[in-house]
Amino acid sequence: MSLIQPNQYFSIKDILVTEERVSSEVRQPMPNLGFLCSSSKKEHLDPGSKLDIPVWLASSLSSKHKSIVSCELPRFYKDSYKEILHADACAVELNKWNQYFYELGLILPPIVKDDNQQIPELLLEVFKSRFRLIMDCEQSVFGAHSIQVQLTALEKQLLKQGNQGKMLLINWLNKGVKHIQTSDVVDNLRKRKRMEV
Amino acid sequence: MEPSEVEFLGEKKMVSIVPHFSSGIIHLISGPVGPFRANLPVKVPIWLALNLKQQQKCRILAQDWMDTENLNELIEKEKGEKLFTEMPSDHFMDEAQMLLTAGADDIPDVDNIRTAVKDIWDLRNAKLRSSVIAFVKNQGSTYAKLDHLTAMEINSIRSLLPETLNVMLQIEESGKSSTSTESQQFSSTLDTTHSQNQS
């Protein structure tokens, strides 16, 4: 499992992650694109006007060489939210902020220029402290629904894997011996041909 | 790996049986077994013991450590220590599960032994859980000592822990990659060796 696979055009997850809107400021005039900014009735977009654009668009508009727009961090990576996370990350319903909190945080740094150095550190810290939630949830396989709804997509995926292992173990403890399945690798091996005599 | 596969590995352990028949040495890939003399105890692999028991050709003797006094001592020791204590066998849980189920009518005091083994298992599981959480939380110390952990226990955290560490590594890496790409390559090779160790 990997967090993000860059340049996966058809990855649904990638699409969902980059749906998030960031507020940005236009740096260069964009002719005939006035309709993007719903508040103004002008035909052209002037430098200085504010726009909410999705991340997938922002990433191509704010390349290193010539940035057409400059983007701000989404609010939940900003200092005020950071403090909430520092206080107790487990108490936060992170999935309400963003289902893909971690994934989004990882792709933002190249797009957003200012004070973004701390995002990975923040993500790591949040993930570490929220790992307890996953473990708690895994421990009580039946139930703990209230915790489960707070998890983000990544955490849910981890939990699902953990649960699978847990169920296997519980089944084994209850039922005991079961037939062992042939592993796929062995299944795919072709049988050796008998030597011609 | 599934628990039943760990159990399969555990079946290679030896156990004493009292056969009801006589036979010469049986030569197997894993080594010779026998000779069998009726009513004289002999050591055989667990899988063979289970098979003979099913055919009612033997009586299974409990492993040396399977007695309530010994197990209760182990429980006390396990409770007293912060770290894991040494278990009598690498596969104590699966051995107990197999032998106590198959040989329920041969081994005296089966129920108490089973409860004691389950107690140890629960104790150690709780310990394992809290140490995994602690390990993830302060990952500044980047290694964990797995002394005296048995195969089934290691397998029980395999579904969650390696992936978690993987995610943490990826987040950490992305933090570094903005400063230098070289270190990223280095840590990704580290990652592969790490996951090999895990599996």
pLDDT tens track of chain A, all 197 residues?
Answer: 566 666 677 888 888 888 888 888 887 877 777 777 777 777 777 777 788 888 888 887 776 666 777 777 887 887 788 888 888 877 778 878 888 888 888 877 777 766 656 788 888 888 888 888 888 777 775 656 777 777 888 888 888 888 888 888 888 887 755 555 666 766 777 666 666 55
Tokens representing B75?
A: 């429980």
**CB-CB contact of B7 with B89 (8 Å):** no
User: What is the residue whose two structure tokens read 């000779």?
Assistant: B35
DSSP state of A2: -
Picking from B4-13, B98-107, B137-146, which range would have the lowest pLDDT averaged per residue? Answer: B137-146
Tokens representing A58?
A: 């922002």
Residue A34: half-sphere exposure toward Cβ, Cα within 13 Å: 9
Instruction: Give the model confidence (pLDDT) of B138-179 as tens digits.
Output: 765 667 777 888 888 888 888 888 888 888 888 887 777 655
Angle between helices A153-175 and A119-139 (to 10 degrees): 30
- Chain B: give the shortest CA distance to residue A26, in Å: 25
pLDDT greater than 50 at residue B199: no
pLDDT of residue B194: 43
**CB-CB contact of A22 with A53 (8 Å):** yes
- Is the CB of B168 less than 8 angstroms away from the CB of A124? yes
Set of chain A residues whose Cβ sits within 8 Å of the Cβ of B129: 135, 139
pLDDT greater than 70 at residue B184: no
Picking from A39-48, B11-20, B122-131, which range would have the lowest pLDDT averaged per residue? Answer: A39-48
Average pLDDT, chain B: 79
Nearest Cα to Cα of residue B10 among A175, A162, A176: A176
Inter-CA distances, B11 with B31, B123, B158, Å? 14, 24, 21
**CB-CB contact of A154 with A3 (8 Å):** yes
**CB-CB contact of B142 with A94 (8 Å):** no
The partner residue sitting opposite B172, judged by closest CB among A120, A165, A176, is A120
Partnered with residue B163 across adjacent β-strands are: none
A34 Cβ under 8 Å from any chain B Cβ: no
pLDDT tier for residue B198 given thresholds of 50, 70 and 90: very low
- Is the CB of B8 less than 8 angstroms away from the CB of A180? yes
CA pair distance A186, A150, nearest whole angstrom: 40
pLDDT of residue B192: 42
Work out the percent of chain B whose per-residue pLDDT is above 90.
Answer: 0
CA pair distance B21, B18, nearest whole angstrom: 9
Cα A7 to the chain's mean position, in Å? 15
Q: Give ∠ CA B65-A180-A140 in degrees, rounded to 5.
A: 70
Partnered with residue A67 across adjacent β-strands are: A62
Candidates B101, B167, B184, B191, partner chain A, best to mutate (most A CBs within 10 A): B167
Query: CA of B9: which chain A residue's CA is closest?
Result: A180
CA pair distance A88, A132, nearest whole angstrom: 12
Partnered with residue B43 across adjacent β-strands are: B16
Asked if the bond preceding B45 is cis, omega within 30° of 0, the reply is no
Query: CA of B8: which chain A residue's CA is closest?
Result: A180
Tokens representing B116?
A: 């004691």
